[in-house]
Amino acid sequence: MMWKVLSKNFSGGKALLGNTQRWISTSSSVWQKVTISKFDQDRYLDYGKMAENVAIVKDRLQQPLTLSEKIVYGHLDSPKTQDLVRGESYLNLRPDRVAMQDATAQMAMLQFISSGLPKVAVPSTIHCDHLIEAQLGAEQDLETAKQLNKEVYDFLATSAAKYGLGFWKPGSGIIHQIILENYAYPGLMLIGTDSHTPNGGGLGGVLIGVGGADAVDVMAGLPWELKCPKVIGVKLTGQLRGWTAPKDVILKVADVLTVAGGTGAIIEYHGPGTESISCTGMATICNMGAEVGATTSLFPYNHRMSSYLKATGRGAIAELADRNANILVPDEGAQYDQLVEINLDELEPLVNGPFTPDLANPISQLGKNAQEKGWPMDIKVALIGSCTNSSYEDMGRSASIAKQALKHGLKAKSAFTVTPGSEQIRATIERDGMDKPLMDIGGVVLANACGPCIGQWNRQDTKKGDKNTIVTSYNRNFTGRNDANPETHAFVASPEIVTALALAGRLDFNPLTDSLTGSDGTSFKLECPDGDELPENGFDPGQDTYQEPPVDGSDISVQVDPNSNRLELLTPFHRWDGKDLEDALVLIKVHGKCTTDHISAAGPWLKYRGHLDNISNNMFITATNAENKDLNNVKNQLTGEFGGVPDTARYYKSQGAPWVVIGDANYGEGSSREHAALEPRHLGGRAIIVKSFARIHETNLKKQGMLPFTFSDPSDYDKVQPTDRVSLLGLAELAPGKPVRCVLKHLDGSSDEIQLQHTMNQAQIGWYKAGSALNKMAEVLKS
């Protein structure tokens, strides 16, 4: 047996990945083989390679490292030669695994199939959670979804089996909860095709949301590219207590950083306050880091994570992490690019919204703010659960409030829904009787799926256009996000605050100070919520909803009906023609916030996520046109008639007329959906010109061969008129860091020349010239 010491500063265990064995020394001279998950019996945890890379980088940089740097640099493809400048260098990384939810997996698998590769190169999974619409309740909604989405589920199940991916069937639960329960571990690097993938940072890993094209690169065995993130430190002191919950930490961070403040950075929590937060509470905080634009968020390894690993059947990983703890925490003296300090002793419960997750209202001020700003005071619906807040602890604390209300004969005054995060959570809270008080106060338990959080909600209590208020424990509250009603004022809070507000039915109720009236007419105050961090009797896994891939899936057939309106095989985009873009039309100049929901709406459109042409009919239909402040109403510059944005784009494409989009700041914030980049490319778009981009969307545009430019001077946004002809000059000399000339020809015959910036490196410019990153990958695989 061979023994090799890779570093004097770490300890580890035996690791087996595929057919490669690596032996790592341990300070205690104890060797062991540790499986990552019961669903990946042939995949073993390896801290050795990570520790080796970290040692190389520390020797090069001669400085203490943050935890973020240890994990990111620990997954470098070439640690000896990689440039390492935060916020500047593009890193080539080797993630440990890939995870995809069903709405984004359709396009990702269609792209992977077009690559011609026989099998994924890294462990990968598909999770069916996005296509289940909430309406009647868990069982009915799940059965309806299985019938309506059979074609898509069959495609995903067979393609997973053929290409070697694990498949979590509908009803399994939300992707992020499944990952936390089964696949996440300290030091992991995972990419997932959903913006809330950072949820797994609650277990001390770097889990990053990406578009499907990025996932295809990793599944194909290619290095994954990421601009070296900056690191924002959030130092927590004091401890959580009373009504204050982990959700309030991230709501406060959103208040401080705003929706764009985390762009290009990893948020790294540290300090003594972290010890008072449960593992699932830390996951909640990391989950919503997406709402401030962060690349991801994470916590240092501690005993809370160890307890969770043991409770979910992964005690061996906890033991291995204990022995390698020095690479799973930041070095003393590590430097952060920005530091935020929060004293948990002073943190008040927050309710953020409406219409944006960074508008923080302390619970003591919520009623006053609502009255002053004319927000509807009555709460129509209160919703708890989702990937952000559906842990055993969350449900227990909410149930403790419901029990208090029931003792006084009180039920919820608002409609009330409960979404378990996974089948394991559903089965465990049912076994332990925690669901009963929630239902007894009027709650309806929904399917183990995303549901209303992503707009999968067949809401019947309010008509579209009616001004109303809802409160949720979800993560996003953009206009129309939950129910497609632009007049719904959505607020986000902790599940315990949401439950308390449901009992009162009004925004001006403060459970810390105000009283409720029981059925006998007597007043009572709610006591602080209470709930166990982990189930005393362990987790109940519930129904088996996992499909393991066969050893050899080469004989499995994956069929796509050419007449399907749900699935469509992809046609490669055309290569760049080598010419400048001259006299392009402005399809739409977007006014104000433009999230990926505005570019490619979710809700009822989710069913077309595997059919690019059909889903393109939702392109920009909820974006505000700066010309007239209308939604989905733009002037066709060739005919002079007004019409829908997708129809106008299709007309331009049919006439061979290229077009561009003009946008505001933080363009493309929100979801990771690459459809927001694919649709403009499919309908003839060539460039997106904005004040600034959100990270994931900018990358998705590059991957699909679109030109993502920003104004050198943000005020140049005002120079662009909807009737302009836009020319992008010097594209043959397109180079990293080199501005691009842009000429705006106005309708009155005058013109303006402005400069545009971009962040494309040489490889990304190669994607543009090839027509897309997928086209470029095909070229590489053929050579």
What is the CA 139 to chain-centroid distance, rounded?
27
Q: Helix (H, G, I), strand (E, B), or coil: what is residue 2? A: coil
Q: Which amino acid is at 107?
A: M
Q: How far is CA 609 from the centre of its chain?
A: 17
Question: Tokens at residue 101, please?
Answer: 């939810």
Cis peptide preceding 354, ω within 30 of 0:
yes
Distance CA 230, CA 190 (A): 18
Strand partners, 556: none
- Give the C-alpha separation, 66 to 168, whole Å: 34
Measure the CA–CA gap between 279 and 274, rounded to whole angstroms: 10
Q: Buried (b) or exposed (e) across 475-503, using 16+ Cβ within 10 A?
A: bbbbbbbbbbbebbbbbbbbbbbbbbbbb
Task: Confirm if 679 and 616 have CB atoms less than 8 A apart.
Answer: yes
The rounded distance, in Å, linking the Cα atoms of 90 and 583 is 33
Q: What is the 3-state secondary structure (H, E, C) of 64-83?
A: CCCHHHHHHHCCECCCCCCC
Q: Could you write out the three-class secondary structure of 552-570?
A: CCCCCCCCCCCCCCCECCC
Residue 215 and residue 149: Cα distance in Å, rounded? 23
Task: Residue 142: count other Cβ atoms within 10 Å of its Cβ.
Answer: 17
Rounded Cα gap, residues 490 and 185, in angstroms:
33
Instruction: For residue 173, report the phi and psi dihedrals to the nearest 5 degrees.
Output: 135, 180
Q: Determine contact, residues 508/351, Cβ cutoff 8 Å.
A: no
Residues catalogued as catalytic: 129-130, 194, 476, 671, 673
Helices 392-407 and 495-504, axial angle in degrees (round to 10): 20
252: amino acid identity, one letter: K
Largest Cα–Cα separation, the chain: 81
**Half-sphere CA count of 586, side-chain side, radius 13 A:** 26
Position of tokens 């009162």?
Answer: 504
